[in-house]
Amino acid sequence: MITYHNPVHAQHQGKLEMFRGALVPCFEVPDRVEHVLKALQRRPFGPILAPEAFDDSFLATIHPTRYLDFLKGAWAEWVALDPTHAARDALPSVWPVRTLRSDVLPANFAARMGLFSMDAGTPLTSGTWAAARAGADCALSAATAVAGGARSAFALTRPPGHHAGADFFGGYCFLNNAALAAQHLRDQGFARVAVLDIDYHHGNGTQAIFYEHPDVFFASIHGDPSTEYPFYLGYADECGAGAGLGANLNLPLPRGSDFVTWSGALTHGLAAIARFGAQALVVSLGVDTFVGDPISGFTLRSTDYSQVGARIASANLPTVFVFEGGYAVAEVGLNVVNVLQGFVQAA
């Protein structure tokens, strides 16, 4: 398995996020990737490469230009408002909720921050664009490798991506790496692609991007959104719309679910992907399903992740893995590499 590592991911390093009514140190930290990288170096099963550089036109297959333009220039605008802003990150404070307009692009920076965001827990920093942009290159490079005949490839990057919608950031995510990989596989000739999201938190951005697409199947196993972030998407009755009706499968589980319960949902998801007739697979690889994760609620253990990888390999599809969540930092490397090694050994 080829791993594409984001060499500038640490340029995005948020200071504080809003969590349960308080500003707290960010859970999404650079050490997450560094622990995975060290684990890969201890148990090597393929090369670790820098990503290929892709043109912004590839990003535009998923994200509209006005959103990309905002992300590119947001930090400079933030500091231009007040030079002291350079010492603190930007967080949104106002949003265009129901009855308010979102079609007009405001001149006010705070208004545009709110227009293009979904929460107050995703700080925008001086290096956010550079890190997210290189992360997209990792996902596109992994998809290119798989389209070229590789059995599998891994995009090791942060910030993560699956909560980012076509035109908004949130949930620590700015560009949707899994969606970019899936669309790139489609554009390179795979008629039907599936995205399997195994992060604890529902991949609302990925679902919304492909909700009316008949050629990309989205399946997600996640915490029940009635109690778990992102709250407003991820329910079992969301099955796709229009031409995409039937190409969306949500498998929400209650907080406290163990590996036996979770594994049953995986069986259901993989069977649905097989019925869809997918020719390639993208896995949003979150390991915040781990029993020790500080902001999640499942009880998977490190040894379980090897079985997860082997089960995914049983789909017998060319597979792109994209790193998402996992906030028990000391264990995140072990858990991710257990998934990947389980996959490689079974494949």
Burial class (CB in 10 A: 0-12, 13-18, 19+), 291: middle
Structure tokens, 29: 């930290």
Given 12, 162, 163, 184, the catalytic residue: 163
Q: Mind listing the pLDDT tens digit for each residue in 44-97?
A: 989 999 999 999 999 999 999 999 999 999 999 999 999 999 999 999 999 999
Examine residue 47 and say whether the peptide bond preceding it is cis (omega within 30 degrees of 0).
no
Q: Mind listing the pLDDT tens digit for each residue in 83-140?
A: 999 999 999 999 999 999 999 999 999 999 999 999 999 999 999 999 999 999 999 9
pTM (two decimals): 0.97
Examine residue 159 and say whether the peptide bond preceding it is cis (omega within 30 degrees of 0).
yes
What pLDDT is recorded for position 311?
98
What pLDDT is recorded for position 20?
82
| Percent of the chain clearing pLDDT 70 (strictly above) | 100
Rounded CA separation 262/266 (Å):
6
Mean pLDDT of 205-228: 98
CATH label, 2-73+134-346, candidates 3.40.50.11810, 3.40.50.150, 3.40.50.2300, 3.40.800.20: 3.40.800.20
Domain boundaries, the chain: 2-73+134-346
Rounded CA separation 46/150 (Å):
11
63 is catalytic: no
Rounded CA separation 124/285 (Å):
23
DSSP state of 185: H
Structure tokens, 173: 């995510």
Q: How confident is the model at residue 21 (pLDDT cuts 50, 70, 90)?
A: confident
Q: Mind listing the pLDDT tens digit for each residue in 131-182?
A: 999 999 999 999 999 999 999 999 999 999 999 999 999 999 999 999 999 9
Element (H, E) at 155: strand 152-156
Rounded CA separation 169/275 (Å):
32
What pLDDT is recorded for position 330?
96
Rounded CA separation 74/89 (Å):
11
Check whether 19 has a pLDDT greater than 90.
no
Rounded CA separation 239/191 (Å):
20
Q: How confident is the model at residue 18 (pLDDT cuts 50, 70, 90)?
A: confident
Rounded CA separation 253/258 (Å):
10
What pLDDT is recorded for position 273?
98
- Rounded alpha-carbon distances, angstroms, from residue 163 to 16, 32, 66, 118, 157: 19, 18, 19, 9, 15
